[in-house]
C-alpha cells in the first residue's frame, strides 16, 4: 500500500512539474557586459524561479560559477577567442581545463556539460584570425577533458555563426546548403572530431538580424512563426519561417561532409526590444511566442520532422555596456530588463499562454533620485556638447529613431542623457556645466522610462569617483529621422557569394560580422 501511495504521489508530482515546467532542451544565454550587473546569486534564482535549467556563458567568471554551484542548472562555460591560440599547447589546454572546469566539479558541484571553444570564430569580419587556431584548441581541450576523466559528460564544441554555411546562387534553397569554401576544410575537421566525441554542432540563428540587414528585401513575416501566404517550396518541403529554412540549410551542409545525422543545438536566438524600429516588446513577444510554441510542439523542421531542438535564448538580461558596432539594438536583447524585470509576457512551457515570467527578487536599487535638464538654465550653447559627452559613456540608445524614447522633445532628450550618465555613476554626477538638476520626482514619460540603476556595490564599498564626461562622443542621442548607420563590413558574409536575394537572406539569416565584438 505504501509503495502504491508513493508511486501515485510521484506520478502526480511529475504531472504537476510538466504543467509548470519549461520546454525540454530550453536554455538561456547569460551575458555580463553591464555597468551595474545584477548579483550572480539573484540571476541564478531568477532562472530557477522560471524553471530554466540550462545556461550558456561567455567565459568562466568565478563569481558566476560560484553562484551556479549546487543549483543543478546545466552550464556551458566558454573559452574566449583571445585564448584560442594558447590552446595549441596540450599542456596549456590541460591547465585551462583544470582551472576553469574540473576545479568546479566535485564538492563545488557546478553542473558543467559543455565547453564552448571560442564564439563564432569564423566570422568573416575577423579576416581569418582564428581559422587556424580553432580546431587545435577544440582537440586539445576535449582531450584534456578526456584525460581528466570527464570527457564522457563534458563536451567541447565550437559555437558558429550562421555565416559558416550558405546556399549558392545556382541552388538557392535550404537543400543546397554547403559550408563556405574558405573554411570547408576546417569545418570538416571540426565536425568529424565533434561527432566522433559525441558533441553537437552549435549554431547561432538570428531572424531579427536578417530583417535588420535586409533593408526591406527580407520578408518580415518570415522572421516570425505565423506563416506566410507564399511559403518556400524546396523539393517537396515547405518552409514558412526563416528559422526552419536556416536550420535545414545547415543540415544540408552537414550532410555534404558526411554528418547528416549530427545533433544540432541553437546556441543563440532571440529578439531585441529597443534600439531599432523593429526592436520592441511587441515584436519580441510575438517572436518568442511563436518560437516557443514551435519548440514545444516538437514539430522539428521539414528535413528533420518530429525532433526536440535544443535552443538557448539570447539573452537573459539586458547588457548596457555592450559595443554598438553591430547596431543600437545590441544592448537590448534581454528577455528581462537590466534589473531582472520581465519585459513582456512569455510562456517558457511552449503552451502559448499569456503569462508573465517571474521577476528577479531582492534587487537593491539606488535611491529614488533623477538628473534632468534644469528648466531655469540660461545659457544652452553648450547643451549639445554636454549631451554628447554624457552619451559617450552612458546608454542613450533608447533615444534613437524608432526606439522607446524617440518621441521626447529636446529638453526630454537632454534629461534622458543626463539621467543615464547620473545613474551610470551611482548618482554622483549631475552638473553638466551647470545645466543639470537633481530631482526626487520620477521624470519618465509615457513609454520612455528614466531608469534608477541597480546598486551593484557591496554594502561596504563606496563607488569610485567617475571621470568628467569627454567632450566628443561617438554615440550621441539621435533625433527623429536618424537611423544608425550599419558597419561597412556588417554584410560582408554574403558579398563574395551572390547579390542579396530572399534565399541568400535565408542562408545568411544570422550574418552579422561584428556581432561577436559585443560578447
List the catalytic residues. Answer: 120, 268
Contact 197, 136 (CB under 8 A): no
**Three-state DSSP class for 443?**
coil
Distance, CA of 290 to CA of 294 (rounded, Å): 6
- Whether the upstream peptide bond of residue 477 has omega within 30° of 0, thus cis, is no
Q: In the numeric block, which cell numbers belong to residue 271?
A: 529578439
Q: How far apart are CA 98 and CA 8, in angstroms?
A: 44
Q: Is 241 left (phi over 0), alpha (psi -120 to 50) or beta?
A: beta
Spatial distance between the Cα atoms of 100 and 138, rounded to a whole number of angstroms? 15
DSSP 159: E
Residues 6+ apart with CB under 8 A from 181: none
User: CB–CB of 180/186 below 8 Å?
Assistant: no
Q: Is the Cβ–Cβ distance between 225 and 296 less than 8 Å?
A: no
**Beta strand pairing call for 159-161 and 201-204:** parallel
Amino acid at each position: 500500500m505504501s509503495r502504491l501511495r508513493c508511486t501515485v504521489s510521484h506520478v502526480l508530482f511529475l504531472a504537476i512539474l510538466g504543467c509548470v515546467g519549461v520546454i525540454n532542451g530550453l536554455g538561456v544565454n547569460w551575458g555580463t557586459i553591464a555597468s551595474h550587473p545584477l548579483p550572480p546569486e539573484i540571476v541564478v534564482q531568477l532562472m530557477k524561479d522560471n524553471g530554466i535549467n540550462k545556461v550558456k556563458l561567455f567565459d568562466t567568471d568565478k563569481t558566476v560559477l560560484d553562484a551556479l554551484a549546487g543549483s543543478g542548472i546545466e552550464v556551458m562555460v566558454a573559452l574566449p577567442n583571445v585564448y584560442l591560440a594558447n590552446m595549441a599547447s596540450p599542456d596549456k589546454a590541460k591547465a585551462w581545463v583544470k582551472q576553469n572546469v574540473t576545479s568546479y566539479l566535485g564538492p563545488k558541484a557546478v553542473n558543467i556539460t559543455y565547453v564552448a571553444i571560442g564564439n563564432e570564430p569564423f566570422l568573416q569580419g575577423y579576416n581569418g584570425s582564428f581559422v587556424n587556431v580553432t580546431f587545435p584548441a577544440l582537440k586539445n581541450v576535449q582531450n584534456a577533458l578526456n584525460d581528466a576523466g570527464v570527457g564522457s559528460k563534458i563536451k567541447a564544441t565550437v559555437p558558429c555563426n550562421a555565416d559558416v554555411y550558405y546556399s549558392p546562387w545556382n541552388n538557392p534553397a535550404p537543400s543546397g546548403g554547403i559550408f563556405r569554401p574558405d573554411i570547408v576544410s576546417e569545418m570538416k575537421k571540426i565536425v568529424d572530431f565533434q561527432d566522433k566525441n559525441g558533441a553537437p554542432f552549435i549554431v547561432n540563428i538570428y531572424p531579427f538580424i536578417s530583417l535588420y540587414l535586409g533593408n526591406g528585401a527580407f520578408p518580415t513575416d518570415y522572421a516570425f512563426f505565423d506563416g506566410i501566404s507564399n511559403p518556400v517550396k524546396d523539393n517537396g518541403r515547405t518552409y514558412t519561417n526563416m528559422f526552419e529554412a536556416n536550420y535545414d540549410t545547415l543540415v544540408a551542409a552537414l550532410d555534404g561532409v558526411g554528418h547528416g545525422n549530427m545533433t544540432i543545438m541553437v546556441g543563440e536566438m532571440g529578439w531585441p526590444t529597443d534600439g531599432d524600429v523593429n526592436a520592441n516588446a511587441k515584436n519580441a513577444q510575438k517572436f518568442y511566442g511563436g518560437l516557443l510554441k514551435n519548440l514545444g510542439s516538437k514539430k522539428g523542421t521539414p528535413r528533420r520532422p518530429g525532433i526536440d531542438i535544443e535552443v538557448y535564448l539570447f539573452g537573459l538580461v539586458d547588457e548596457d555596456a555592450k559595443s554598438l558596432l553591430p547596431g543600437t539594438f545590441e544592448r537590448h536583447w534581454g528577455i528581462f530588463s537590466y534589473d531582472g524585470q520581465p519585459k513582456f509576457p512569455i510562456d517558457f512551457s511552449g503552451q502559448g499562454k499569456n503569462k508573465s515570467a517571474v521577476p528577479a527578487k531582492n534587487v537593491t536599487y539606488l535611491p529614488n533620485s533623477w538628473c534632468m535638464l534644469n528648466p531655469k538654465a540660461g545659457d544652452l550653447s553648450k547643451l549639445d556638447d554636454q549631451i554628447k559627452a554624457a552619451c559617450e559613456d552612458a546608454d542613450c540608445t533608447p533615444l534613437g529613431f524608432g526606439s522607446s524614447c524617440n518621441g521626447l522633445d529636446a529638453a526630454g532628450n537632454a534629461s534622458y542623457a543626463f539621467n543615464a550618465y547620473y545613474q551610470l555613476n551611482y548618482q554622483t554626477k549631475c552638473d553638466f556645466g551647470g545645466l543639470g538638476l537633481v530631482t526626487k520626482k520620477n521624470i519618465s514619460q509615457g513609454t520612455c522610462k528614466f531608469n534608477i540603476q541597480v546598486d551593484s556595490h557591496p554594502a561596504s564599498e563606496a563607488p569610485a569617483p567617475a571621470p568628467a564626461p569627454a567632450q566628443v562622443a561617438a554615440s550621441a542621442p539621435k533625433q527623429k529621422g536618424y537611423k544608425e548607420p550599419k558597419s561597412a563590413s556588417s554584410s560582408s558574409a554574403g558579398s563574395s557569394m551572390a547579390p542579396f536575394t530572399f534565399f541568400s537572406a535565408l542562408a545568411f539569416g544570422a550574418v552579422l560580422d561584428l556581432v561577436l565584438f559585443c560578447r
